[in-house]
A and B are shown apart, each in its own frame.
Chain A
Amino acid sequence: MEKRLPDLNKQSPDTALLLHIQDRNPFAFELLYERYRKHAAAFAQRMLRDDSKAASAVKEAMLRAAAKRDSYRFGSSVLTWLFRIFYHVCLERFPRGKASRKPEAGNSGEVAAGAFDRLDPEHRAMVIMQKYHSLSYNNIADVLGRKPSWVKWQMKIAYDLLGVELQRTGNSAAGKTDKAAPRKKMAKRPPAAKMGGGN
């Protein structure tokens, strides 16, 4: 018997879109992309800190969402499902080795971006999802495949690390501290953009 799908429009709920996508409706996928386009672009840029890699990651993530449409379980959050895909795609493109960028000097946004380079991908993803995409601890735990209590604990550690980095980069930019040794050591490494496995 042919299943009856709900009508489709711009106000359709996420689950209705997913139902249509599982039925291979391209219009539904277009609506889904339209709805989560900004999330995808912002998350990838902040995670990878490289526009070309981010664009490639967004494309790959959306293609993977289209291919793995049946992996979505009705009743769970579509946002969480998408972020799980975004996170794993970014993780595959994440620069290997330790952070190698120079701390950035400039406005506070650039300082924050520079401080992010010192965080590992999991901490970085947690802070980004919490700060810029308003995901709850439970949702973040769902994306990362961890327990909420673990996320809460690690979030504190991530903020502590960020605080230390921001303070150091801020001071460094102002020339008030002499911590050149680790920076010199880092500068010897090739730039992260060249090491990454991005396509």
Chain B
Amino acid sequence: MACFEDQILEYATGNLSEQEADRVRGHIKYCPKCHSYYLGLLKIEADLIAWNVRDSFGDDFDKELIVACEERLEAKEFIHDILKPLLKYFYLALGILAFCALYRYTLFNETAAVFSRIGSSRISLETEAKDLELYLEQRLIGELGEENPNLCTLATLEMALNLPSGEPAEQRIADLKYLLNETADAARKRFFLFNALDGAFLAAEDMFKPKAAAVPAGKPGKQFLLAAEALENKEWDKAAELFKAVTINPSSAEEAKSATFRLAFVLDITGDYAGADRLYALLPDKYQGSVEGLLAPEMRKFAQARRRYSELVEIEAARIKKRKENAATYYIIGNERMLHFDLDAAADAYTRVILKFYGKNKRHSKINLAWCFMRKGDYKSAIDLYGSFRLINLDHRIYGDFGKSLAYARLGDTDRATAALSWEAKREFPGAYKVLAENYFRPQRSY
């Protein structure tokens, strides 16, 4: 049997497991060498155990030590208390510097180039107002569909879109911009776009001025004007065909650009999202710095929202078939229809939510339904619905007040339009109040 000399020390000091200890114990009984070594270790252990020392150095020592340690704990340390906080600010400053350098040498140059191109182009006031409205309508529908909780933003957009059109173009554009600037906090990026529009509507837009019928057949630009008219009349299929023809055989580069942008919009509306997506993606690169190039990514977002809603609608339609519908089901369907300008179908879906369900979706449905009524020209129904907003909360009340006021303005009742704007709306939203009450709703003015 081999000796366990290596393990005897661990055995003697109690560092072996039970099983190993048994083995070593058995071996020691029969091995005189190990037995003698073990006895020697026991003697050492006995001597060591007998070596006693004091447990402490006295209470005074302990107290003194505790006081010294507390002082050490509370003392300011250079690395901990001074250097580390400073390092934090140093890294922050370094980050800011790095960003500034990056901006100066990359983004800044790019932005400056865009502004330079924009500044060199000319603008037509009439087309500017038209395109602002087109963009605004898209954005408003998008925000309504996304259930934007910021009703003040929504109200501003609603007002910007509904400004009475009898005013001179300059005044109207100025007021549109004033109202849009009110939403600048929520939409800095959009503000940049409006600045772009400010300086850059291009020659092709001027072709809206003469009517298509006035242009003789065969003249350059005739087809584009026909397409633009079809778009204005929401004849989507006809507009798509004509714009496609223009993009294949354009009379000028400007026409090609405008036709591509509008074709993308029409494809988007008619549900060809992949086609619209391709064209929207193409515009910023191909026409860098142009208004279309700047608006395309924004419009692409609306297209993506439509696509998402279309997918959701399929799911919700399946739920309706199984009779598992709820408020969200009809609300989503309403949004999807609204995004496609199918206002009757959207209104029907929202009405179902309002009549059958309660909660958040009901509140949002009321907002969207009122908007549908306004778009359809059913101002009286809109006024009734906006009146019911008073029961919800302050934000909704203000939104309702502005909506009601605009509806009365549309009906030509300027007295009621002014009266509908409550003191709460004035207090919360003074800029918009000023534009509406002072510029448009004064009884002596007619439009």
Contact = CB atoms under 8 A, between A and B. Distances in A.
Given A26-B69, A112-B48, A166-B47, 12 more contacts: A21-B73, A25-B73, A33-B62, A33-B65, A38-B55, A46-B51, A58-B57, A59-B64, A69-B73, A109-B50, A127-B48, A163-B41
Given A42-B55, A63-B68, A66-B73, A155 B46 contact: no
Interface string B55-98: 11100011011101110111001001000000000000000000
Nearest to B66: A30
A137 interface: yes
B215 interface: no
A143 interface: no
A113 interface: yes
Contacts of B50: 107-109, 112
Interface in A46-68: 46, 51, 54-55, 58-59, 62-63, 65-67
A113 B51 contact: yes
A147 interface: no
A156 B15 contact: no
A175 to B, nearest CB: 19
A57 to B, nearest CB: 11
Contact of B54 (A29, A41, A65, A163): A41
A130 B47 CA distance: 15
Contacts of B52: 109
How many A residues touch the partner, as a band?
35 or more
Contacts of B43: 163, 166
A167 B326 CA distance: 93
A130 B43 CA distance: 17
Contact of B69 (A29, A70, A112, A166): A29
Contacts of A65: 69
The 6 closest A-B pairs by CB, nearest first: A109-B50, A26-B70, A109-B51, A112-B47, A45-B53, A108-B50
A189 interface: no
A88 interface: no
B55 A163 contact: no
A111 B52 CA distance: 12
Contacts of B54: 41-42, 45, 51
B44 A29 contact: no
A68 B421 CA distance: 67
B104 to A, nearest CB: 35
Contacts of B41: 159, 163
B13 A130 contact: yes
A37 interface: yes
Nearest to A107: B50
Contacts of B73: 21, 24-26, 29, 66, 69
A29 B51 contact: no
A41 B47 contact: no
A26 B74 contact: yes
A45 B53 CA distance: 7
Contacts of A113: 51
B410 to A, nearest CB: 52
Contact of B55 (A41, A55, A109): A41
7 contacts: A24-B73, A38-B55, A45-B53, A59-B64, A69-B73, A107-B50, A163-B41
A55 B66 contact: no
